[in-house]
Amino acid sequence: MDVGCGPGLVARLAAVRGYRVIGIDADPQMIRAAKRLAKHQCSSASFKIGDVAGLPVEAAEVVSAASLLAVLEDKVGGLNALWKGVRPGGTLLVIEPTEQMTVENANRVIENGLPRKRIDGLRLWAAARQGRTVDPEMYDTLGAESVRFVPLLHGLVGAWIIQKKGIPYADIFTPAAQDAGVIGAA
């Protein structure tokens, strides 16, 4: 479940990798664009209008949010709503610019070689986020099993992979889980 999906890039990428995915966004125009692009690319991703505050509880094994928290007024509320949507043993993936996302650092990355079509977007992104990035200490308040940080784009952006305590859904039906009494043996 990709929340704040915009035109659906993350959702379409996940669908290509075999995930059954739904993208959710509060803006009907974004959902229209996401549906149009998905149709054009024959993607199996589906899309729905919705607000992060109204997500269903424990609805998905993976909940992702790329560049959503930074645009929310209530970042703590938004983060907790995303977290509630994750099933036990599942994963919350947050992708956000880091505090390294400054105009100066972005220009350095551009000078070191960035595909031409990405340059304007990165300049705009850096100007918009400089000094206004999400504080990653927030993720430590969730009581997660683990929080892993993966730097992207030379550290200007980060992926936080936040694992919820519990047995991953995919493992519930394994013989090992049966032996452990997670479900009754047939």
Ligand X SMILES: C[S@@+](CC[C@H](N)C(=O)[O-])C[C@H]1O[C@@H](n2cnc3c(N)ncnc32)[C@H](O)[C@@H]1O
Choose between 27 and 171: whose C-beta lies nearer to ligand X.
Answer: 27
Show the binding pattern over residues 12-31: x = contacts ligand X (CB under 6 A), - = does not. Answer: -------------xxx--x-
Stretch near ligand X under the rule CB under 6 A, chosen from 5-13, 96-104, 106-114, 131-139: 5-13
What track of x and - describes contact with ligand X for positions 116 through 155 (by CB under 6 A)? ----------------------------------------
Angle at 25 between CA 24 and CA 29, to 5 degrees: 125
First to last CA, the chain: 31
86 binds ligand X (CB under 6 A): no
Token pair belonging to 139? 């993720």
Q: Which stretch binds ligand X (CB under 6 A): 65-73, 112-120, 138-146, 168-176?
A: 65-73
- Which 8-state DSSP code applies to residue 58? T
DSSP alpha helix (H) spans, 20-171: 28-40, 75-84, 103-111, 116-129
Sign of the alpha-carbon torsion through 160, 139, 62, 5: negative
User: Which parts of this chain interact with ligand X (CB under 6 A)?
Assistant: 3-6, 9-10, 25-27, 30, 51-52, 66-68, 71-72
